[in-house]
Structure 1
Amino acid sequence: MLICGIKLTHDGAVALVEDGKLVFCIEQEKRNNNPRYQAIDNLDAIVEALEEHGFSIGDVDQFVIDGWDGEVESQFQVISEGAPITLSGGPYIERWPEDPLRPHDGSGLALGGTILPYKSFPHVISHVVSAYCTSPFAEAEEPSFCLVWDGCIFPRLYYVEQKGVRLVECLFPMIGHAYAIAGHHFGPYRKPGSESWDLGVAGKLMAYIALGTARENIVDVFRELYEEHFSGENPLAASYREDIHNVEALLARVHDYFSAGAFRLQNECAEDVLASFHIFLERLLVGELATVLQAHSQLGARNLCIAGGCGLNIKWNSALRASGLFESVWVPPFPNDSGSAIGAACCALAVDRGLVSLDWSVYSGPKLRNSAIPRGWKAAPCTLAELAGILASNEPVVFLVGRAELGPRALGGRSILAAATSLWMKDHLNEVKFREYFRPVAPICLEDRAQKIFTPGTPDPYMLFDHTTRPEWRERIPAVVHLDGTARLQTVSRHSDHEVSKLLVEYESLTGIPLLCNTSANYNGRGFFPDAAAACEWGQVGYVWCDGLLLTKTSEPDLS
């Protein structure tokens, strides 16, 4: 059975699942150097994605669209074959708590000259299902809790087992966008008087707070204002909690919260304020989760899946893993909406077969496009051993191989790799990526060496947890050590068939160091490079390695 999952809104994507196996997931931002968070506003992209992988519209047994904004249903204004159409879909949050997987049945999906029926499931439930079905818990047929904290919702805890999903509780009344909105009231991204927010700010603040110190007096201010504005038994907080489907009202109330905080904290430095707010939310999350688990101890499960945009907060993920509340914590490489097309397809699969394990690989994104060698570049075959030598000479390399990784993090398929032995390299990579000086560069490390270098150094293949660099290694690999001594580690098995694993083995053999710097290969604000030509045209790095071919920038453009 072929199921095509579709995410139309931001982080748009098309995923195809065949008999319980993920065939591909194509995120729009990873095509043609598209902007981050690119939506699918033209349905022809679905046809193209299928055809690129040898499938036609008629091959697909079921189309599924991820739900979106709306209390009862969502609506999508899209283009198909040049004509505008309107589609309806499931709501953001499930309408029937006793049956979260009840689909919305739609019609009028115009693809390739055919009008087709489709199903749609609530957006939040797509998050739950994508996280659980890709987890080791589904593979072991074990139940799990699933925490979903998205931008415009309060954190929600679900209980998932093969036979179904059910909501346990909402944990507390704070929307996920609060983290990003904090950055518009304090710090380098402050926008006085603005009530907008930037999706990219949250990740940058995770880095920025390393400049500050969490102070209890500031945490107390945020706690008092939280009770006044959101959680207390007063008219202001009660009206906020009752307005959960009015996104604009929720955002405005969160801005009011930070405006009140800015007035009370005007003598405090921004770094400390933001570090303190981070700790306030971290404590709130762990504490409320502990309370809810105790109240529902009869459920017994001690596994946790994390999904929603806040699942990209590595410090909160690490705090939950270290809390002792769970025996095992799973975060998929696409906890944000980049996994929603997969989740939509898995919802349809669950209706038919229950919540079973999905057979999937993180390297299921777009294939590299064929491209000509641009002027000013020369090409020659290059082995991984030879490439390790170039890296050891302190030269960064754009590394493109196979299919792109899923989710927002570069995991060795669309990466810029470099030696980590010089602090200069971190500054250089931030400079060529047009990133702020305080932003970290992540290490990609052989899994069996990680515990010698990091604490805890546990296997983390998707760069979604915090690790502390051991003191004896900090001077050896300064380019990947963040300002607070931590690192956003990605581990790779030395037995993996992926080329980045083989490169790490070669690099360790040459240098004795089992890791490299790893940052995403992309234009600023765009998805991954779709081909070698895009990396060459970007031109900030002098070497591009693409499927065994090394492209080297020449001193003069080749005009022949």
Structure 2
Amino acid sequence: MIICGVKLTHDGGVALIDDGRLIFSIEMEKLANNPRHQSIDDMQIVVDLLAEYGYRLEDVDRLVLDGWGRTHMVKPWGAQEVLVELAPYRRGLLDNNLLRPYPSRFLDLEYTSYPHYAGHVASAYCSSPFAQRQEPSYILCWDGAMFPVLYHYDAATNVIDNVGAVHYMLGDTYHILAQHFPPFDAPIEWPHTLDLPGKIMAYVAYGNRDEKAVDALRTLYSEVARKVFPDGRPTDNHLTEAAGRHIMSLMDEGLNAPGISPEDMIASVHAFLGETLVDGLRAAIETDGRGTRNLCLVGGCALNIKWNRDIRAAGIVDRVWIPPFPNDAGSALGTACCELLNWTGPKHLEWDTYAGPALVESEALPGWHGHPCTPAQLAAWMHEMGDPVVVLYGRAELGPRALGHRSILAPAVASDMKHRLNEIKGREAYRPVAPMCREDRVSELFAPGTPDPYMLFDQEVRPEWQEKVPAICHLDGTARVQTVGPEDDSFVYEVLDAYERLSGIPLLCNTSANHKGSGFFPDVRSAMEWGRVPAIWSDGVLYERAGD
């Protein structure tokens, strides 16, 4: 069966699955330097992407659209706009079957839509090692406009049960409460609010948890929840976005922090929400009592590396899985996975991290000169020069994190490298720079030293290494680690291996290569036009700018 998944709204994308194998998953922001969170307004892009990989629209057995709870205007192949009906955000009126399809059509094209939350849940499970082993799993989904809802997937019966919400705050609560305090109190418009949670998470390291503030937040939340749900624990029918907005509004109005610094208050908001999440998750799983020891985390809030670390460390389950596309970057793939779960065939997805768009061929700009350069020679260049280099290689990685194919790599040994990279990218000074580390060395440098291939967990930098690699150390002594083994990506591993043999350091700085406010560079020429680093490596060629 050939399934094409499409997300039309913000973070638009197209994904194609052929008999359970992912052919591609491409977000609009990763094409042609499009703005971040780019939507799809013309369905011609679906036809064009299918054709690029040797498929026609007529070949597709199931066209599936991500749900959003409203209609969306699109141009069907450049013609007059047509109103497309989408499934609801999380559930329908008839029942709470997450995999209930919503069949529809526009013009002569039949399609199916699934609830937005269903896509998140399906993508997390189908991409997981649990699906490959046909094991059951809990799936916790917490997205911006919804409560953190826990589901249980039974692989034997192919049934997803709604266990319930683990608490009653929307994902938006994180940045709404933090926006009471500088530097996040300036007005900001959609869709740029989608970038706020990551910035707030980075800024948390500037403050310290204040026990009085955390206790006050707990009290405020309890009072607000009783006002909104006076009869106690609400049924699922009461967990509407309107109820969540009401809770968030009451908490927003009642937030008071006399005598507490903005930095400590933001850190306290972060701690309160994270602890509420962990406590609620533990209680929900213990009450459910099925004994399943697998857990998938998904939704935009699964990008919070500190909460992910806390959940993994809590011992609630034995194994925690987060795909590299937990936010809406994975929604086109997710809605296709809904169809995969409803299909009679295998439920696990055969996929690769680097299934994004291929590099677009382009010519070098005048003033840039290229010469052959192996991965080992690239490592030697960074070691000798001490400079960052843009790396554009093969197909782009899935999701929002650059994982070595659309990256800026740099040595981490210079104390000013973090400042330099933030300045190059036009980012705030408090933003950390992530390390890319050899998997077989990670336990020596970090605690707990767990393999984390997608930069989705927080780890502590061991004290004896903090002075050796200062560029990747955040203010609280942590780092968002990407581990790389030879089976993950041979090119990236070869660069790290060669760099360690020269320097004794098994890691490099890694940040995304892109224009500010846009997706990854689609070609070498874009990186040259940007021109903020002295060298660009792409597919075996190192381009250097004359005079640098």
TM-score, structure 1 as length reference: 0.93
- Measured on the aligned residues, the alpha-carbon RMSD in Å equals 2.2
Tell me which amino acid in the other structure corresponds to 2:84. L
SS in 2 for 1:221: helix
In structure 1, the gaps of 5 or more residues are none
Report the Cα offset of residue 259 of structure 1. 3.7
Name the CA shift for 1:494/1:256 in 2 (closer, same or farther; >3 Å). same
Aligned residue identity for 1:157:
L
Q: In structure 2, what residue type is equivalent to 1:203?
A: G
Q: Deviations over 1:264-312 (max 9, x none)?
A: 2143111100101111111111111111112111x12011000110010
- After superposition, give the CA deviation of every residue in 1:62-86 in whole Å (9 maximum; x if it has no partner): 1000111x3xxx3111112231001
Task: Give the structure 2 partner of residue 124 of structure 1.
Answer: 117
Q: Contact 2:434–2:481 at 8 Å: present in 1 too?
A: yes
What is the match of residue 56 of structure 1?
A: 56
1:79 counterpart residue number: 75
Deviation readout 1:204-240 (Å, 9 max, x if unpaired): 111101010001100111112112223457769999x
> Quick check: 2:365–2:525 contact (8 Å CA) kept in 1?
yes
Residue identity opposite 1:213 in structure 2: N
> Structure 1 pair 541/152, CA: closer, same or farther in 2 (3 Å)?
same
The number of aligned residues is: 543
Give the residue type in structure 2 aligned to 1:33: N
Distance in 2 separating the partners of 1:234 and 1:107? 39
- Name the structure 2 match of 1:331: 322
Kept in 1, the 8 Å contact 2:67–2:86? The answer is yes
Match of 1:103 in 2: 101
Residue 146 of structure 2 contacts residue 241 of structure 2 at CA under 8 Å; is this kept in 1? no
The answer to whether the aligner puts 1:470 opposite 2:468 as a matched pair is no
Amino acid at match of 1:412: G
Is it true that 1:305 corresponds to 2:296 in the alignment? Answer: yes
Q: State the alpha-carbon separation in 2 of the partners of residues 327 and 104 from structure 1.
A: 36
Q: Show the counterpart of 1:172.
A: 167
* Corresponding residue SS for 1:280: helix
Tell me, in whole angstroms, the C-alpha distance in 2 between the residues paired with 1:347 and 1:234.
32
Q: 1:488 aligns to what?
A: 480
Among 212, 215, 231, the residue aligned to 1:217:
212
Q: Does 1:389 align with 2:389?
A: no
**1:440-496 per-position Cα deviation (integer Å, ceiling 9, x unaligned):** 100001100100000011111000001100010000000001110001000000344
User: Is the Cα contact below 8 Å between 1:229 and 1:237 reproduced in 2?
Assistant: no
Aligned partner of 1:407 in structure 2 is 399
> Partner of 2:504 in structure 1?
512
Alignment of 1:286-325 (within 5 A): 286-297=278-289, 299-325=290-316
CA shift in 2, pair 1:224/1:429, >3 Å: same
TM-score, length-scaled by structure 2 = 0.95
Q: 1:426 is matched with which residue?
A: 418
**Does structure 2 conserve the Cα–Cα contact (< 8 Å) formed by 1:228 and 1:234?**
no
SS in structure 2 of the partner of residue 472 of structure 1: helix
Q: Does 1:448 pair with 2:413?
A: no
| Counterpart contact for 1:442–1:480, Cα < 8 Å | yes
Aligned in 2, Cα 1:318/1:67: closer, same or farther, shift over 3 Å? Answer: same
Whole-Å Cα distance in 2 between the matches of residues 165 and 13 of structure 1? 25
The percent identity for this pair of structures is 47
Structure 1 Cα separation of the partners of residues 315 and 79 of structure 2: 54
Q: Could you say which residue in structure 2 is the equivalent of 1:186?
A: 181
Unmatched runs of 5 consecutive residues or more in structure 2: none
1:341 alignment partner in structure 2: 332
User: What SS is found at the alignment partner of 1:281?
Assistant: helix
Alignment pair present for 1:206 and 2:205 = no
Cα 1:280–1:509 shift into 2, 3 Å? same
The DSSP-based 3-state class of the residue aligned with 1:83 is coil
Query: Please, which of 360, 379, 395 is the counterpart of residue 370 of structure 2?
Result: 379
Check the 8 A contact 1:185/1:192 in 2, yes or no. Answer: no
Match of 1:93 among 87, 90, 93: 90
